[in-house]
Structure 1
Amino acid sequence: MTLPVAVLVSGSGSNLQAIIDRIEDGVLAARITAVVSNKAEAYALARAQNHGLATALLPHAAFPDRSAYDAALLAAVRDSGAEAVVLAGFMRLLGADFVAAYRDRILNIHPALLPGFPGLAAQGQAAGYGVTIAGATVHFVDEKMDNGPIVIQAAVPALPDDDAQSLGGRIMTLEHRIYPQAIHWLATGRLSIHGRKTRLAPADMPKADMADAMPCLVSPALEAGF
């Protein structure tokens, strides 16, 4: 069985590509029902079309208010047959009605070690603050920005001369591994939420080979194929 998911995008879609690649490799137990963007220029739409995936464009400026946009977005996702939603660089907050419709079935990835540096330009925030460790977080989505229970985090070194671009590139390398892993855990029913904590059900799975990775810490550990 595979989990039907809709992917919401606004930008280049590098995390979307990582998800597509793991699905096509046969290691991620999901299928993409639609890729929906609020921006016509999002390269993520081209990535999706290159793999024969259904796409939809919903420019938020075409709607009179946030409520109308969220209703149209929810309809597009439901009509695609999606049972879960993945945010891959989607630069809009989801409204309460949308979150309620897919409660505990919406994942997001944020390029920081939450709860530190929520919001926009997290890589630049971290570099400017002078942290020595930075990273990425996959979390469930609730009504607040970058707030839901954490699924997996990856930490990488942050160097004194880093800026948003250099630190962001280091973080992104692990984003492309932890996000497909988290989606696979959701798809295979191994995640459960207990208050602010997410629990991962154990499985007899070999761990990923991290020999070629930069110095990093990933928790929970990645499994083979991710």
Structure 2
Amino acid sequence: MLSLVVLISGGGSNLRALLEASEDAEFPARVVAIGADRDADGLAWAEEYGIPSFTVPFSSFDNREEWGDALLEQILQWGPDLVILSGFMRLVPPRVVAALSPRLINTHPAYLPEFPGAHGVRDALAAGVTETGASLIVVDNGVDAGPIISQERVAVLPGDTEASLHDRIKPVERRLLVQAVLDIANGYIDLKELARA
């Protein structure tokens, strides 16, 4: 059974998908703790599912490194097999990446390497492309630059807004994430091998 720590900054829709998947006794992974960098709405899922949660507010620290060390300390208490950045809107410092990689993965609402960064959906619309996508990656020290675990294209429709396009990308992200966790747990995806490639 794979143990997961999920880090969020917002509503936690990907987190919710994992929690729903793990309600199936056959699903080979369980969320053991949920963390956030702010008072995120998605922490309500922790309460609903009876899962421990923690918050490490970025604003409480003098710099990113100190914040990262405190975040890592919280994560390591749970001994997770896998840490998932799911709508987590902060870059984690290199020490955190070094301690957790390659068992640190991230969802992103674009078909990487296209449109990395915090505004992938908006950037895709601004570029006028006809399709974008969703990606799941192993986190490295770049911005959405790590090895790709899985990805899928999503069409950009005429008249799409940032909100409407993001609403169509989110279900694809959720499906990719749940499937990847399943494949990692079952040995079909080897993160160490991916990180070496």
TM-score, reference length from structure 2? 0.94
- Letter matched to residue 157 of structure 1: A
Query: Cα deviations across residues 35-93 of structure 1 (Å, max 9, x unaligned)?
Result: 011111x1110012100010001111111211111111111011012122001111111
- Paired position in structure 1 for 2:52: 54
Matched residue SS, 1:68: helix
Q: 1:162 aligns with which of 132, 152, 160?
A: 160
Return closer, same or farther for 1:156/1:32 CA change in 2, 3 Å cut-off: same
Aligned 8 A contact 1:28 1:183 in 2:
no
Identity %: 38
- Letter matched to residue 10 of structure 2: G
Aligned 8 A contact 2:102 2:195 in 1:
no
Displacement of 1:194: 4.6
Matched residue SS, 1:173: helix
| Greater displacement, 112-121 / 81-90 | 81-90
Does 1:176 find its partner at 2:174?
yes
**Which structure: larger Rg?**
1
- Paired position in structure 2 for 1:28: 27
Aligned 8 A contact 2:138 2:195 in 1:
no
Return closer, same or farther for 1:27/1:171 CA change in 2, 3 Å cut-off: farther
Return closer, same or farther for 1:120/1:194 CA change in 2, 3 Å cut-off: closer
Does 1:10 find its partner at 2:3?
no
After superposing on structure 2, the runs of 4+ consecutive aligned residues of structure 1 that deviate more than 6 Å are none
- Letter matched to residue 31 of structure 2: I
Unpaired runs of 5+ residues, structure 2, are none
Aligned 8 A contact 1:148 1:196 in 2:
no
- Letter matched to residue 99 of structure 1: V
CA distance in 2, matches of 1:86, 1:23: 15
Q: 2:138 aligns with which of 137, 140, 147?
A: 140
- Paired position in structure 2 for 1:92: 90
Displacement of 1:26: 3.4
Q: 1:111 aligns with which of 88, 109, 112?
A: 109
Aligned 8 A contact 2:61 2:67 in 1:
yes
CA distance in 1, matches of 2:35, 2:147: 24
CA distance in 2, matches of 1:175, 1:194: 19
- Letter matched to residue 165 of structure 1: A
Q: What is the root-mean-square deviation of aligned Cα atoms in Å?
A: 1.4
- Letter matched to residue 73 of structure 1: L
TM-score, reference length from structure 1? 0.82
Displacement of 1:27: 4.8
Aligned 8 A contact 1:130 1:160 in 2:
no
Displacement of 1:195: 6.0
